[in-house]
A = this chain, B = another copy of it.
Amino acid sequence: MMISRMRKQPTGETAETLALKQREIAVSEFFLKNRHLLGFDNPRKALLTTVKEAVDNALDACEEAGIVPEVKVEITQITDTRFRVEVTDNGPGIVRAQIPKIFAKLLYGSKFHRLRMSRGQQGIGISAAGMYGQLTTGSATRILSKTASGKKAHHMEVQIDTKKNAPTILKDEEVDWKPEFPASQSGGKAVVSNHGTSVAIEMEAAYVRGRLSVDEYLKQCAVVNPHLQLHYRICLKKTQGDNADTRGRIPPHDENAGNGQKALPDGERNSMPCEYLNETPWTTFERANQYLPPQPTEIKPHPHGVELGLLIQMLKDTKARTLRSALAEDFSRVSSRTALEICEKAGLSPKASPARIAHHESEALFRAINATKLLRPPLDCLSPIGEEQIVAGLRKEIEADFYTAVSRPPTVYRGNPFLVEAGLAFSKPDPAQELGAEEPIRLMRFANRVPLLHMSGACAITKAATGVDWKRYGLPQPKGSLPLGPMVLMAHIASVWVPFTSESKEAIAHYPEIIREITFAFQECGRRLSVFLHKRMRQMEYERKRNYMAMYIPHLALGLKMILGFNDKQEKTLINNLNKMLERTHLEA
């Protein structure tokens, strides 16, 4: 079956004809076609992704500016399939020159080139939401931003030129505008801030309640951000005439009402009125405290996480004049003395020019670095939620008998510091439920304080949760699945760079170091649960035995009465004494 002569089809291309077709692809063209990579697979998810990106940006901006965040999310249904999302914050605002690029250029931002924990990291999200809106409705992203009390606000409308990945400015004017927030249910007055940003995007979307909804996202967001004051309302179009047909379309505050989240009528005039304004009241997720989480600091890369190719690049790019100072200045945990030690191990002159290190010398340097003991990366770049706050968050949202939380010490994957926190809430099994008909536990996933709703199956947290042997801790568990039982399990990973499985940031990639840490955290939670369950089981066993014995006490007393000739009073005393004895035994157990 040898081919000595290559058969060509008449339509065959040649190297030359193929060359004519090669073209550069703008990153915006790429993501426009691959919009599902950014979380715009379908209208329902598009709505969630847009809210998520806007809220993430708002929270990051507030925290970086040291402002206790207040955020307002308003979703308005315009036609059956078209929605307008408007997110307003009290952040520091954005200077005019940056607005078009931030909102209408993919891969642009301040968070990518630094090693520091934040919600956003890619410089894609909000521009992608605008691009999706533009694609599906032809509309522009509207931004209002005010940076200080003395200054006017900017009003801009931008679109993205997808062939160039560059912004097109449709409107650019100064206006009088201040971010306004409605009153909260605790009776406080409405707030007007002197600075902040509002972004509004119109898009094809769909609103469905449930586990993957905007409501759920905002609720979980409030759990892991106790310092956030969050207002939310969704104004849905009334279905004509028929009110029975509004299933899944009713604003969600009735769902939250029983949960301490009472909806209040809006006493203030909104800056952007809509025709549904007076129909739908605001839901406020109250902040628990005014204290911002500690500001994470920015760090330099740790030498043990730097690959050979990156090392070569860093030596080429360094501003330092000598190899020794390049090592000490551009990396964390390398003192000038350690730098000298590394140079000596590698057989290189510490005074060599970093740009002139040859390839084989870099390899020697690389080996020397990895053979040198160094302190772990500095870990103040991470801002964990903390065991106490996790338990408080779970208590707030989930009714259960047992709560616990674990914060693991920070560690490192690929040179990036990260830490894992886990918590669980376990309630009594529903006695009405048939034995063996238990549901899988509910798993809540968070990354850098952002709830992850979609793509659970692809996430390292799910992988770790199914990998733990929960039978050991007293929960039934089908092979390769989540355990069964009335339990909520949560995990939070905080890192300077969370490795997501896709740009839509819905699941964490399967780095072994990360899965190991989550597993450890879950196992520790499991052990504590196991102690609780054992104790409860012992207690229930005692209860059973005690009830059993208690049943016999009257008969015993009757017998003794007859044998010893007790009177009724003596019999009662005997019963009392026997009961007390039983109780004492129980208490001592």
A: which residues have CB within 8 A of B?
1-4, 6-16, 18-19, 21-27, 29-30, 33-34, 36-37, 41-42, 61, 64-68, 70, 90, 92-95, 97-98, 101-102, 105, 107-110, 112-114, 122-123, 134-138, 145, 147-148, 162, 184, 186, 188-189, 191, 193-195, 204, 229, 286-287, 290, 292, 295, 307-313, 359, 362-363, 455, 457-458, 478, 497, 499-503, 507, 509-512
Number of this chain's copies in the complex = 2
Within the complex, the shortest CB–CB distance from A151 to chain B, in Å, comes to 9
When the two chains form their complex, are residues B134 and A309 in contact, meaning their CB atoms are under 8 A apart?
yes
Residues of B within 8 A of A295 (CB): 9, 11
Residues of B within 8 A of A312 (CB): 138
When the two chains form their complex, are residues A136 and B309 in contact, meaning their CB atoms are under 8 A apart?
yes
Known pairs A7-B66, A9-B292 / 13 extra A-B pairs, C-beta < 8 Å? A1-B184, A3-B70, A11-B66, A12-B64, A13-B65, A16-B147, A19-B94, A27-B27, A36-B501, A41-B510, A136-B309, A138-B308, A457-B457
When the two chains form their complex, are residues A191 and B229 in contact, meaning their CB atoms are under 8 A apart?
no
When the two chains form their complex, are residues A25 and B458 in contact, meaning their CB atoms are under 8 A apart?
no
What's the Cα separation between A295 and B10 when bound, in Å? 10
When the two chains form their complex, are residues A92 and B13 in contact, meaning their CB atoms are under 8 A apart?
yes
When the two chains form their complex, are residues A94 and B15 in contact, meaning their CB atoms are under 8 A apart?
yes
Residues of B within 8 A of A148 (CB): 15
Q: Which of B34, B110, B138 contacts A22 (CB 8 A)?
A: B110
Residues of B within 8 A of A90 (CB): 6
With A12-B65, A15-B147, A362-B138: A2-B92 Cβ-Cβ less than 8 Å: no
Query: Taking CB as reference atom, which chain B residue is nearest A188?
Result: B2
When the two chains form their complex, are residues A101 and B188 in contact, meaning their CB atoms are under 8 A apart?
no
Residues of B within 8 A of A138 (CB): 308-309, 311-312, 359, 362-363
When the two chains form their complex, are residues B287 and A22 in contact, meaning their CB atoms are under 8 A apart?
no
Residues of B within 8 A of A29 (CB): 112-113
What's the Cα separation between A516 and B51 when bound, in Å? 29
Within the complex, the shortest CB–CB distance from A481 to chain B, in Å, comes to 8
Query: Taking CB as reference atom, which chain B residue is nearest A192?
Result: B4
Residues of B within 8 A of A457 (CB): 457-458
Residues of B within 8 A of A134 (CB): 309
What's the Cα separation between A415 and B33 when bound, in Å? 12
Within the complex, the shortest CB–CB distance from A499 to chain B, in Å, comes to 6
Residues of B within 8 A of A93 (CB): 15
Within the complex, the shortest CB–CB distance from A117 to chain B, in Å, comes to 15
With A18-B64, A307-B136, A309-B138: A113-B7 Cβ-Cβ less than 8 Å: no
Q: Which of B24, B67, B499 contacts A36 (CB 8 A)?
A: B499
- The residue among A10, A295, A363 with the most chain B CB atoms within 10 A of its own CB is A295
